């Protein structure tokens, strides 16, 4: 064997030994990093069991009104940084909801938003809005209210980084994978300066070490697919690796089972109530309709309808043209129609039974002013006797949602029924 061969063998052996030593060093480095990130981590109630045993247990589901049970994140001895802690929210149940009904409303499959009871025309959706002040982050604490993320409807990845990463860097890392998902994805991060959880905006100048990413399990198109959950799972692991961090993810099979069960529940309460005002020979002029709508506090929106909103901007009910032409500023002067429909989207409106009565009264005022008639989809007059069982059914459905900690009209329901 020549000296050249011996030298080559020696170099090869040295290279192999070098690779083994480097791999061992990398393994030890990442293990040390994971230990540092996880050993002192506070309990993450979005992922760990028993999150509702504290503040959420202090409020009974029968309390009227919306309440937030977010608590402060205490600073531990010897630490300068306030670590984030997500706490549960105890939602409310409607008081006085009646269990028995005299009539049953037909509810369509949750996956078919175009099919709704009473009125055949499907309603366009309002985007979810930020709820009232009681659910906004408490600036004195490090907690996150559940309109940001909730284990009740989201599959949540908890990511802890060794160094803070900018918002654009976070989004860019797995942009292509996230774009393939068929369900909404929400990102929140813990702001080290304000000690608050906040939605991560891509154009933000903030950087984050503590990140939570939630894939919504259900919407009106149905439950999340196994393929989407797999893509999200891999994307979050690769995101953590790329940003030098670690990630915790719930088990996939229980999440899929929860999504199927949640979708079944949502299908049972997903109804819309339509009240029709039809002409009795003479068509309704667009100018007259607009005057009546505006005098009733309704606003023409960008979706071709008049919307009646509450003080916080949440849509209570809408007014639609029964004919093909939507309402618009440009066409109201020349528009003429034989009928309009008042529409109430039950899961997206709080106190739906009361809002229903307000909507019926408004429909009757329109009918009187337009010399029309208030009827159902079969052109049968709607009397108080016909409305009452519908009102009771709406109250029953919304009471069921409240018992499920998904109160109608609140943030989680707005997201589920978007």
pLDDT value at residue 347 = 97
Task: Please check whether residues 291 and 355 belong to one and the same domain.
Answer: yes
Task: Please check whether residues 277 and 236 belong to one and the same domain.
Answer: no
User: Which of 224, 239, 262 is the last residue in one of the domains?
Assistant: 262
Cα–Cα distance measured from residue 348 to residue 317, given in angstroms and rounded to the nearest whole number: 10
Cα–Cα distance measured from residue 50 to residue 215, given in angstroms and rounded to the nearest whole number: 21
Q: What is the CATH number of the domain that holds 143?
A: 3.30.1400
Per residue in 137-176, pLDDT (tens digit) is: 443 344 455 568 999 999 999 999 999 999 999 999 999 9
**How many C-alpha atoms does 270 have within 13 Å on its Cβ side?**
28
Which residues constitute the domain of residue 26?
19-58+139-262
Task: Please check whether residues 183 and 287 belong to one and the same domain.
Answer: no
DSSP state of 149: -
Task: Please check whether residues 212 and 354 belong to one and the same domain.
Answer: no
Task: Pull the structure tokens for residue 196.
Answer: 């608050």
The proportion of the chain whose per-residue pLDDT surpasses 70, expressed as a percent, equals 70
Domain assignment of residue 411, yes or no: yes
Task: Please check whether residues 257 and 281 belong to one and the same domain.
Answer: no
Whether the Cβ atoms of residue 89 and residue 61 lie closer than 8 Å to each other: no
Task: Please check whether residues 288 and 218 belong to one and the same domain.
Answer: no
Task: Please check whether residues 360 and 399 belong to one and the same domain.
Answer: yes
CA nearest 55: which of 45, 40, 41? 45
Alpha-carbon Rg for the chain, nearest whole angstrom, is: 27
Domain assignment of residue 339, yes or no: yes
Task: Please check whether residues 256 and 300 belong to one and the same domain.
Answer: no
Domain assignment of residue 193, yes or no: yes
Domain assignment of residue 171, yes or no: yes
pTM for the complete prediction? 0.66
DSSP state of 102: S
Task: Please check whether residues 286 and 215 belong to one and the same domain.
Answer: no
Domain assignment of residue 107, yes or no: no
Cα–Cα distance measured from residue 404 to residue 255, given in angstroms and rounded to the nearest whole number: 17
Per residue in 196-227, pLDDT (tens digit) is: 899 999 889 999 999 999 999 999 999 999 99
Task: Please check whether residues 298 and 405 belong to one and the same domain.
Answer: yes
Give just the sign of the alpha carbon dihedral 34, 37, 40, 41.
Answer: negative
Cα–Cα distance measured from residue 205 to residue 203, given in angstroms and rounded to the nearest whole number: 7
DSSP state of 381: B
Among the ranges given (74-83, 191-200, 280-289, 318-327), the one the predictor scored with the smallest mean pLDDT? 74-83
Task: Please check whether residues 182 and 204 belong to one and the same domain.
Answer: yes
Cα–Cα distance measured from residue 277 to residue 401, given in angstroms and rounded to the nearest whole number: 30
Domain assignment of residue 300, yes or no: yes
Q: Per-residue pLDDT for 92 more than 50?
A: no
Q: How many C-beta neighbours within 10 Å does residue 275 have?
A: 27
Domain assignment of residue 101, yes or no: no
User: Which of 243, 262, 281 is the last residue in one of the domains?
Assistant: 262
- Cross-strand partners of 278: 339, 373
Start-to-end CA span in the chain (Å): 77
Task: Pull the structure tokens for residue 51.
Answer: 């999150």
CA nearest 68: which of 405, 409, 408? 405
Per residue in 326-355, pLDDT (tens digit) is: 999 999 999 999 999 999 999 999 999 999
Looking at the structure of the chain, the number of domains it has is 2
Helices (H) and strands (E) in the chain, counts: 9, 15
- Greatest Cα pair distance, the chain, in angstroms, is 110
Average pLDDT rounded to a whole number, residues 60-84: 35
Cα–Cα distance measured from residue 98 to residue 284, given in angstroms and rounded to the nearest whole number: 38
Domain assignment of residue 287, yes or no: yes
Whether the Cβ atoms of residue 317 and residue 326 lie closer than 8 Å to each other: no
Average pLDDT rounded to a whole number, residues 179-205: 92
β-pairing, 154-166 with 207-216?
antiparallel
Q: What is the CATH number of the domain that holds 330?
A: 3.30.1400.10
Per residue in 350-372, pLDDT (tens digit) is: 999 999 999 999 999 999 999 99
Task: Please check whether residues 181 and 233 belong to one and the same domain.
Answer: yes
**How many C-alpha atoms does 11 have within 13 Å on its Cβ side?**
6
């Amino acid at each position: 064997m020549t000296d050249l061969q011996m030298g080559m063998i020696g170099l090869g052996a040295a290279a192999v030994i070098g690779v083994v030593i480097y791999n061992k060093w990398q393994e030890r480095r990442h293990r040390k990093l994971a230990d540092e990130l996880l050993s002192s981590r506070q309990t993450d109630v979005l992922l760990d069991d028993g999150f509702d045993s504290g503040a959420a247990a202090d409020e009974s589901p029968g309390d009227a009104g919306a309440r937030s049970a977010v608590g402060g994140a205490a600073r531990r001895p010897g630490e300068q940084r306030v670590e984030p802690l997500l706490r549960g929210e105890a939602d409310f149940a409607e008081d006085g909801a009646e269990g028995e009904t005299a009539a049953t409303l037909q509810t369509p499959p949750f996956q078919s938003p175009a099919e709704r009871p009473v009125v055949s025309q499907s309603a366009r959706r309002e985007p979810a809005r930020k709820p009232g002040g009681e659910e906004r982050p408490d600036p004195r604490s490090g907690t996150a209210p559940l309109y940001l993320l909730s284990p009740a409807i989201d599959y949540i990845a908890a990511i802890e980084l060794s160094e803070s990463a900018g918002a654009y860097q976070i989004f860019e890392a797995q942009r292509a994978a996230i774009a393939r998902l068929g369900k909404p994805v929400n990102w929140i991060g813990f702001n080290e300066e304000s000690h608050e959880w906040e939605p991560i905006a891509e154009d933000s100048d903030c950087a984050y070490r503590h990140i939570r990413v939630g894939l919504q399990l259900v919407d009106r198109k149905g439950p999340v697919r196994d393929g989407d959950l797999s893509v999200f799972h891999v994307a979050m692991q690769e995101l953590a690796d790329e940003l030098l961090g670690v990630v915790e993810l719930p088990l996939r099979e229980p999440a899929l089972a929860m999504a199927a069960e949640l979708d079944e529940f949502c299908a049972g309460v997903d109804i819309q109530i339509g009240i029709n005002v039809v002409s009795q020979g003479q068509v309704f002029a667009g100018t007259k309709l607009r005057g009546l709508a505006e005098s009733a506090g309704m606003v023409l929106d960008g979706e071709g309808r008049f919307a009646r909103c509450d003080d916080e901007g949440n849509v209570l009910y809408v007014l639609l043209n029964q004919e093909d032409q939507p309402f618009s500023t440009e066409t109201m002067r020349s528009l003429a129609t034989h009928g309009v429909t008042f529409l109430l989207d039950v899961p997206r409106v709080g106190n739906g039974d009361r809002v229903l009565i307000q909507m019926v009264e408004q429909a009757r005022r329109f009918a009187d002013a337009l010399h029309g008639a208030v009827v159902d989809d079969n052109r049968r007059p709607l009397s108080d006797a016909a409305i009452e069982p519908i009102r009771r059914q709406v109250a029953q459905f919304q009471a069921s949602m409240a018992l499920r900690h998904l109160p109608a009209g609140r943030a989680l329901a707005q997201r589920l029924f978007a």
